[in-house]
Structure 1
Amino acid sequence: MWSSIVGVVLVIAIVLFIVGALKRVRLWRRGKSNPVPFVAAISSIPRRYLVDLHDVVARDKTFANTHVATAGGLVASVILMLVVFVFGIGNLVTYSLMALTFAGMAYGAMKVKKRRDNPPSNLSKGNWQRLPFSLLAFASSGFILSVLLLFGAHSEPLVLVALCLAGVIFGLAELFFGVFSGGPMKHAFSGAMHLGFHRRQERFGGGRSTGLKPIDLNEQTLGVEKTKDFYWNQLLGFDACVQCGRCEKVCPAFAAGQPLNPKKLIQDLVVGMAGGTTEKYAGSPYPGKPDTPCQGAPDKPLFEGLLSADTVWSCTTCRACVEECPMMIEHVDAIVDMRRHLTLGKGQTAGKGVQALDNLITTDNPNGFSPTNRANWSVDLKVDQLKEVGKTDVLLWAGDGAFDLAYQRTLRAVVSLLRAANVDFAILGNEELDSGDLARRLGDEATFQRLAIANVKTLNKYQFSLIVTPDPHAFHVIKNEYPDFGGNYDVMHHTEYLAKLTEQGKLAFNEGKSQAATYHDPCYLGRYNGGYDAPRYLLNAMGIEVKEMERSGYRSRCCGGGGGAPVTDIPGENRIPDMRMQDVRDVNAELVAVACPQCAVMLEGVVMPRPEVKDIAVMLLESLAEDTQLEQKVG
């Protein structure tokens, strides 16, 4: 008798789930069209869930095991309940399997409860605090019912059966009706769909997709003014957020007390999509902002009550949040989309961003220097220019740091190292324009596209095999964003190319003085492009044993120099470069090796006393073995 009741309850719960799922789909479809093949998307979900998602979840071993037990037990137990209670296939095997899956889920639910008993600050609370009880009620009740079936108790004891039925109904209400009501478990459905219909399909299967996507400058609305201006699968991604706060833990702006919390931002965008207020949010607020409920609606401008412009201008675009997100949400894409509207639609770029963009428009560099002086750093080095030689093996892209005296030391060191290795190389000289990185990150897509198209036109005039640059931001833009404008080139960061030359025996280095050194991973070389090994290889080639900071590799803390942050200059409680220098001090390093001109500027800006900051190229030139030394020295 009671087994029939379970079957009916299960069918009702599934119907409610389907209704709730359709409701969520309607919310997502308020966004702009972005076609993804349906069958391919659905069929890709299992592998992406088991491999790509769990590659991120598994970084926290304890929670990874909890997630496997809870989520895996839930899916398996529901399938077996359908088999037993709906399709009537009840026997010793199915009863035993059902008992095992419920037991596994109960184990995971106990771990969830332990985590929620004293949750860390990054975990959202509120409705999420009831989740372990819903999971436990469902899992323990289902386990008892499975045992009763194993022992043939189909009608007695009635009190125990009634309690278990109540527990199953309570659990199913959370797990299935929660999708309809927008409860915690909606992330299970939204997350699965997000994996299949993700806007960046290239991220899966070990791929990498970090380049910003272009927008049509002829569109009526440039960038995102309202949530309906996002693509529908971006809205789906926001809805998948599980509020774990991993993004919050690694965000440099949040740590510095600037008014950005990536988790809170995503939840605010969900409110903007679904309508209502932010009062149910029970996580950390934006630092320095009053935690008062705000209203949102799909047709209401985001910056009229729901969001503060300072929030999106605080982002350094370091992608630490994206790297840590177990649901693979694209926070940076959303932030830049909103910046595009503020800059292009409203002319409200923060801080000195307006001046930097004006300079890019008038002088093709953000500092307003005369474009005819771009190649002055190389005059005494007598470096070949492509307009004179026509073709070369390696094109050395100087980047806009060519106007900076400190960065010129790096460029000149690279020139000397290339000559020591007998590399055929040249530069564009004054034909080189700014890569457009700053313009694009500040939301000025029009200026970026103008610069990109002009640079591609110049590059396509000449013959070369490879572009090498010491600037990770230019490296990233040319490699990953210029292809959208007809610029398809082999591009390498200078550490990658110098490591290759060293491996080939074209460069050799003496071991330098014993010095406690660490290495700071630039965001645009590391997280954006996976460039972690080459810099460390070169440091080891000089006999330097790297003392790794706690925040290194894919978890490296941003220097604070990306995303236009130095020019938007949103105030906080601390400075990001000061926090990064403290990471250096924590490992007792006397020297921090860098591989990015912006990182060098930011870290050198930390007040003394502090460890020395030096680019790897400069260090390599100082360590160059005598038989490959050049007479020319770095100026």
Structure 2
Amino acid sequence: MTTPLPPDMPVRPGFWNVPLWGEIGVYVVGLAAVALCVWGIVRGMKLTREGALGDPSTKTEKDPQALKRTLRAVLFADRIRETAFGNVHAALVVGFFFLFLGTALATLDWDIGHYVFGTQFLRGNVYLAYKLILDVAGVAVLAALLIGFVRRMKSVTLPRTDRFLWAYASLAFIVLSGYAVEGLRLAVEQPLWMSFSPVGSVAAKMFIALGIERAGLESVHVLLWTVHGLAALAFIATIPLTFYGHMYRTPLSIFHRKAAPLGRLPKIEAIEEQETFGLSHIEQLSAHERFQLEGCVECGRCNDVCPAVRAGTPLAPRTIVMKLRERAERLAAGLPDDGKHLTGDVVTHEELFSCTTCGACARACPAEIQTPDLIVRMRRHLALEEGAFPEGAATALENTASVGNPWGLDPYERLDWGKDLDLPVAEPGEHYDVLYWVGCAASYDRRARKVARAVVTILRAAGVKFAVMSEERCHGEFARRLGEEYLFQTAAQENIENFANYAFDRILTACPHCFNTLANEYPTFEGFPEVPVVDHATFIRELIEAGRLAGISPDATATVYHDPCYLARLNGVTNAPRSVLDAATRPLYPEETGEKTLCCGAGGGQMWAETKNPKPVNIVRLEDLKKTGARRVAVACPHCLTMLESAKATTGDEETLVRDIAEIVAERLTETKGEKCEEAEAKAEA
């Protein structure tokens, strides 16, 4: 039984002017559209899984946080909203969501409220708010579509294929035709509350101005209502076939992202028993990787933040993803093999070996596609099956294999940097608070040796019982990133065996690459000690907060901090270095900082490769840092130190100072101590 409403009560008109065939047809066609959409999604996911054989030599880790991560990414869209155009897209999503919600509420209002309970809940002020919100949501969608269209037409990097134009046009048509349908109804009824549909009211006034009679308006209304309904339902049915498939493909990509830590590469199990290595055929992509590739929306954010792109190298992360996705789609479609080799023909060696594995592309990607991991997998094929490496890197690899360091220097000289420091060398049977892993750079590079000496100064000032390991050798991280997994695993086994000889509470590193390797990758090997690994920035902060480095007085030198990629982006260590600098100096920060830092250009083996880039990224980064007006650059990585010092030499910059945070703290400790001694002497004389 229907409850009668007052004649002046605003209420949503259900199926106004729509004939019975239309009312029945919308449900029939609607169910068919939803069924087609679901079938298309399920079929696509099935093809993705069937065409992905994966790599049996590596294990795919399940991420227990995958669902939680995905829901957060979808609901809050933090990564999408990081840019101006990302906020425009967010407005489109929110507007589209309200339009969808409005349609769902209208269905419930009529089918449940009207037919089941005999009354409608979309009435009175609720209905008026409902109409106003939907009108505003439609405007937001149209504005976002217009901005996106103009941006794409002006861009020289974004693709402008017909499918993107069709995507913009189809959604705009659905919204505009909806406004037209509403305007025709308002032109006929002219209710007192029509101003709560501002866009619909404007359309209604236009129809009234045309002088069309009521019968004509009603006839056009039925026609447009039908076209609008069919267009909306066709949109739903074809989602899996169009660009708008990213509405479910991108969340699937996020869900299938590898588990944290992001700095860990998958280990090749039983490496000596494997017959093939890495990624050389598209069939070797796992289902997780295929889902990731399909999640790409071609926005180009990865290219915008890629240091290799800025340096003018052949690499463009989006191009890599698109090439692999195209090959995967060919496989899923059952197309014949065209004879092209994945590494060499489809993706060139120059593209692969231009990557610094800094993770900037993966960090910026709304679909969280792990492009560096795919690149390393292809590098593994080149390294382990073809013996292909970039110029210069082969020598560093040979040196590491023969004498345990990429410089090729005498392993017995590894501790020469501390000959005059009376270094405590770890001994079996003795327990240490900290085992200081020095790393190759601080052991052999003359400039980086100062960082090791500064760390020792800090440890002794804080009264930390520490030792270094005489058997230390290169952990092989750069080799792993270049694809030489065998050398990496050999180095890992040797170092892990040496760790077993000593007792210590923690391992301290002053290099983010050492930190990432020992904290995230070595633990996947049997025998690695179950102790925490700590970076030197975090450790120094702990000492300061515990009062063990009391008395540090900050100097007045304006210092800009450069975040290392492997510390900030891949491991999320951003607060500790800033706390340390707050205690020791006056820190400034460049535009690209924290997890959004710009790579110095050393990672992924690039430190050892001969590059001929139009403008090396280390020079680009130094120029960015100097824009802050700071005279001193603070770093927390010996590779960043080397690259920025090299940029200084190349550009003839003799004014900018580059210092590791450990050096800055050690200098302040020494100077503060000296100042206190002078004060004491002055008091004694007085």
TM-score in terms of structure 1 length: 0.86
Counterpart AA for 2:39: V
Q: Which residue of 1 aligns with 2:199?
A: none
Alpha carbons 2:34, 2:236 under 8 Å: kept: no
Superposed, 1:153-552 pairs within 5 Å as 157-180=218-241, 183-196=242-255, 198-202=256-260, 208-216=261-269, 217=271, 218-275=273-330, 301-387=341-427, 390-401=430-441, 402-429=443-470, 431-486=471-526, 487=528, 488-511=530-553, 513-542=555-584, 544-552=585-593
Alpha carbons 1:138, 1:172 under 8 Å: kept: no
* Identical columns (%): 29
Alpha carbons 2:321, 2:371 under 8 Å: kept: yes
Write the deviation string for residues 178-226 of structure 1: whole angstroms up to 9, x where unpaired. Answer: 423xx31121121122233x14244xxxxx5331121222343211112
Alpha carbons 2:185, 2:221 under 8 Å: kept: no
Q: Which residue of 1 aligns with 2:147?
A: 114
Distance in 1, Cα, partners of 2:64 & 2:132: 33
Cα shift at 1:140: 3.7
Distance in 1, Cα, partners of 2:139 & 2:39: 27
Alpha carbons 2:401, 2:487 under 8 Å: kept: yes
1:129 aligns with 2:165: yes
Q: Which residue of 2 aligns with 1:282?
A: none
Alpha carbons 1:470, 1:493 under 8 Å: kept: yes
The alpha-carbon distance between structure 1 residues 225 and 269, as it changes in their structure 2 partners (threshold 3 A), is: same
Q: Which residue of 1 aligns with 2:78?
A: 55
Alpha carbons 1:521, 1:532 under 8 Å: kept: yes
The alpha-carbon distance between structure 1 residues 571 and 13, as it changes in their structure 2 partners (threshold 3 A), is: farther
2:278 aligned counterpart, secondary structure: coil
Choose the corresponding residue for 1:3, options 23, 27, 49.
23
Cα shift at 1:406: 0.8
Cα shift at 1:298: 10
Cα shift at 1:86: 9.3
Alpha carbons 2:634, 2:660 under 8 Å: kept: yes
For the pair shown, the structure with the greater C-alpha radius of gyration is 2
2:658 aligned counterpart, secondary structure: strand
1:161 aligned counterpart, secondary structure: helix
1:14 aligns with 2:34: yes
Cα shift at 1:173: 3.8
Distance in 1, Cα, partners of 2:339 & 2:257: 22
Distance in 1, Cα, partners of 2:424 & 2:478: 28
Counterpart AA for 2:316: N
Cα shift at 1:538: 1.8
Alpha carbons 1:353, 1:564 under 8 Å: kept: yes
The alpha-carbon distance between structure 1 residues 358 and 161, as it changes in their structure 2 partners (threshold 3 A), is: farther
Superposed, 1:33-112 pairs within 5 Å as 45-51=70-76, 54-60=77-83, 62-63=87-88, 65-73=90-98, 76=101, 79=104, 92-93=120-121, 100=133, 104-112=137-145
Alpha carbons 2:552, 2:672 under 8 Å: kept: no
Q: Which residue of 2 aligns with 1:284?
A: none
Runs of 4+ in 1 over 6 A off after TM superposition: 34-44, 84-91, 146-156
Q: Which residue of 1 aligns with 2:679?
A: none
Distance in 1, Cα, partners of 2:594 & 2:322: 28
TM-score in terms of structure 2 length: 0.80
435-444 or 37-46, which moves further after superposition? 37-46
2:433 aligned counterpart, secondary structure: strand
Counterpart AA for 1:186: G
Cα shift at 1:323: 1.2
Distance in 2, Cα, partners of 1:35 & 1:471: 28
Distance in 1, Cα, partners of 2:99 & 2:370: 27
Choose the corresponding residue for 1:591, options 609, 628, 632.
632
Write the deviation string for residues 547-600 of structure 1: whole angstroms up to 9, x where unpaired. Answer: 211111111111001111133344332110010011022112211111110001
Q: Which residue of 2 aligns with 1:292?
A: none
Alpha carbons 1:103, 1:140 under 8 Å: kept: no
The alpha-carbon distance between structure 1 residues 271 and 84, as it changes in their structure 2 partners (threshold 3 A), is: farther
Aligned residues: 601
Cα shift at 1:331: 1.2
Q: Which residue of 2 aligns with 1:620?
A: 665
Q: Unaligned stretches of 5+ in structure 1?
A: 203-207, 278-294, 631-635
Alpha carbons 1:522, 1:596 under 8 Å: kept: yes
Q: Which residue of 2 aligns with 1:288?
A: none
Counterpart AA for 1:532: T
Alpha carbons 2:73, 2:79 under 8 Å: kept: no
561-570 or 102-111, which moves further after superposition? 102-111
Q: Which residue of 1 aligns with 2:18?
A: none
1:467 aligned counterpart, secondary structure: strand
Cα shift at 1:15: 3.1
Alpha carbons 1:98, 1:143 under 8 Å: kept: no
**Over the residues paired in the alignment, what is the CA RMSD in angstroms?**
3.4
Cα shift at 1:55: 2.0
Cα shift at 1:59: 2.0
Cα shift at 1:348: 1.1
Distance in 2, Cα, partners of 1:268 & 1:307: 7
1:562 aligns with 2:617: no
Alpha carbons 2:426, 2:467 under 8 Å: kept: yes
Alpha carbons 1:559, 1:576 under 8 Å: kept: yes
Distance in 2, Cα, partners of 1:22 & 1:109: 30
The alpha-carbon distance between structure 1 residues 175 and 576, as it changes in their structure 2 partners (threshold 3 A), is: farther
